[in-house]
């Protein structure tokens, strides 16, 4: 159910969003045409989408440990896979957007904070040239995700199980740069900023970070506004469901509110 904050944010987004005729920056115009205007063949994800459909009718219950902000829709520690699949996962349209971004970037190293059932991880790991590291705290969810990765014989996904508050610290010691990061785990202000700042060590100016659920709550809205206006960020796009952050100084600090 949509709460007052989300309704207010949606109306503001609707009033402030622009179309491609208002994008004068060559970088954002190119990004809009090549990435946001989706020309990928959805058929190439049909097996992953079949898996999503199977999960959407799977009433198996699993025990969840909630490491994040919890769910506005689900209560309790026992949850059915079908409920998780219908409330917690990135919708197909946005999973395709993330695939388009990493294709545009020719990304090799990808990080997903918050695996859940692993559906978006499968999109991110579509190309064998990519290596995806995905983080999940809840063991039962990690087990389902690993089963899904094995079913698709994915060799290029590594799942790091455990609370990101502990597991990310060691991960960011590795000096290799990360091209694309999806922050989709603990939807609260302080952890979002902390994870972003920790990941900064592993980014370069061509990296792209996507923050999910930027208008989900007042604290996520605050986190998004702080990050997009941070000195470290040179450009941003608000697509309502998610925000995209760019780090290339050539972009010259521009912000766009667009629709997908
Ligand atoms: C919104 S779901 C991720 C959805 C997934 N990215 C997708 O699109 O399919 C968020 C996940 O992050 C996990 N999570 C939240 N906070 C965490 C933390 N502090 N450490 C590890 N996992 C966490 C939750 O268990 C949950 O499975």
d(CA 168, CA 13): 32
**C-beta of residue 135 within 8 angstroms of C-beta of residue 185:** yes
Whole-model pTM: value is: 0.95
For the chain, which domains are there?
4-40+90-257 (3.40.50.150)
Average model confidence (pLDDT) for the chain?
94
Tokens standing for residue 63: 């025990």
Segment 146-204, tens digit of pLDDT = 999 999 999 999 999 999 999 999 999 999 999 999 999 999 999 999 999 999 999 99
Residue nearest to atom 8 of ligand 1 (CA): 90
Segment 9-51, tens digit of pLDDT = 888 889 888 888 889 999 999 999 999 997 888 899 999 999 9
Pocket-testing residue among 115, 182, 190, ligand 1, by greatest number of atoms within 8 A of Cβ = 115
The single-letter DSSP state of residue 127 is S
Q: Which residues contact 216 (CB under 8 A, 6 or more apart)?
A: 6, 72, 187
Tell me how long the chain is. 260
* Selection from 165, 259, 234, 244 nearest residue 25 by Cα: 234
Strand partners, 208: 180, 246
> Residue 136: CB within 6 Å of ligand 1?
yes
Q: What is the pLDDT, as a whole number, of residue 65?
A: 87
Q: What is the pLDDT, as a whole number, of residue 61?
A: 96
Q: What is the pLDDT, as a whole number, of residue 70?
A: 60
pLDDT at 73 > cutoff 60: no
Q: What is the distance in A from the centroid of ligand 1 to the CA of 184?
A: 6
Question: With bands split at pLDDT 50, 70 and 90, how would you rate the model's confidence at 252?
Answer: confident
3-state secondary structure of 195: helix
Segment 182-191, tens digit of pLDDT = 999 999 999 9
Pocket-testing residue among 136, 182, 190, 196, ligand 1, by greatest number of atoms within 8 A of Cβ = 136
Q: What is the pLDDT, as a whole number, of residue 10?
A: 87
Segment 211-227, tens digit of pLDDT = 999 999 999 999 999 99
The label of the residue with tokens 């995209």 reads 244
Percent of the chain having pLDDT more than 70? 96
Q: What is the pLDDT, as a whole number, of residue 16?
A: 87
Segment 117-153, tens digit of pLDDT = 999 999 999 999 999 999 999 999 999 999 999 999 9
> Residue 213: CB within 6 Å of ligand 1?
no
């Amino acid at each position: 159910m949509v709460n007052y904050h989300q309704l207010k944010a949606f109306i503001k987004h609707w009033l402030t969003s622009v179309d491609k005729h208002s994008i004068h920056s060559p970088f954002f115009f190119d990004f809009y045409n090549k990435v946001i205007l989706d020309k990928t063949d959805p058929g190439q994800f049909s097996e992953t989408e079949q898996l999503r459909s199977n999960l959407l009718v799977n009433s198996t219950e699993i025990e969840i440990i909630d490491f994040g902000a919890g769910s506005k829709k689900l209560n309790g520690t026992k949850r059915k896979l079908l409920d998780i699949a219908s409330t917690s996962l990135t919708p197909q349209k946005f999973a395709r957007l993330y695939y388009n971004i990493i294709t545009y970037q020719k990304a090799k190293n990808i990080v997903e904070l918050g695996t859940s059932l692993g559906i978006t991880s499968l999109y991110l790991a579509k190309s064998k040239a990519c290596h995806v590291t995905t983080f999940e705290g809840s063991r039962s969810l990690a087990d389902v995700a690993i089963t899904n990765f094995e079913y698709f014989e994915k060799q290029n996904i590594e799942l790091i199980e455990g609370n990101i508050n502990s597991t990310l610290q060691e991960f960011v010691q590795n000096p290799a740069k990360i091209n694309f990061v999806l922050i989709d785990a603990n939807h609260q202000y302080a952890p979002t900023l902390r994870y972003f700042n920790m990941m900064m060590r592993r980014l370069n100016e061509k990296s792209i970070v996507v923050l999910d659920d930027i208008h989900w709550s007042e604290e996520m809205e605050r986190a998004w506004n702080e990050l997009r206006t941070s000195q470290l960020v040179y450009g941003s796009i608000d697509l309502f469901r998610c925000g995209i952050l760019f780090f290339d100084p050539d972009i010259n600090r521009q912000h766009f509110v667009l629709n997908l």
